[in-house]
Homo-oligomer: A and B are copies of this chain.
Amino acid sequence: MNLDKVIEVSILFDFYKELLTEKQREVINFYYNEDYSLGEISENLNVSRQGIYDTLKRAEKILQDYEKKLQLVKKFNERNKYIEDIYKELVNIKKEIKSGKDCTILVPKIENLEEICRELLG
């Protein structure tokens, strides 16, 4: 199984699973989170292998279509990059304070973080 595909579907599933049917959720969960084969899921759920395959492909398509429209994963990742930037800069600022330098040099850095927060708040 292609690892990028596994990661892609698992993330989409996290965001959009509530929009799938119970059956679609079950198949995606078995296949992508529990690493069952199509044959194993087929035995488990007493549905033909082809039936499981069709449910899986249909569910993947639904998840991808919702992401195309809502772009939740994309937006979430973009916002997280800003929060990572804030985090890294806080770690730097803490280091500089501990090094005992004149703290007034930190003011522009803090103002930069304030600006990132304002952008995130829109």
Q: Which residues of A contact B (CB under 8 A)?
A: 15-16, 18-19, 69-70, 72, 79-80, 83-84, 86-87, 90-91, 93-94, 97-98, 103-104, 106-107, 110-111, 113-114, 117-118, 120-121
Q: How far is the CB of A53 from chain B (nearest CB, A)?
A: 26
The residue that A90 contacts in the complex, of B80, B83, B98, B110, with Cβ under 8 A, is B110
Partner of A120, one of B69, B83, B98, B106: B83
Interface of A is mostly: helix
Contact, CB under 8 Å: A110 / B84: no
A110-B97 in contact (CB<8A):
yes
Beyond A18-B69, A84-B121, whether A97 also contacts B90 by CB under 8 A is: no
**Which B residue sits closest to A103, measured CB to CB?**
B103
Query: Are A86 and B87 CB-contacts (below 8 A) given A18-B69, A97-B107, A103-B103?
Result: no
* Contact, CB under 8 Å: B87 / A19: no
Chain B minimum-CB-distance residue to A91: B114
Decide yes or no: A111 and B83 within 8 Å by CB, A19-B69, A69-B18, A70-B16 being known contacts.
no
List of B residues within 8 angstroms of A79 by Cβ: 79
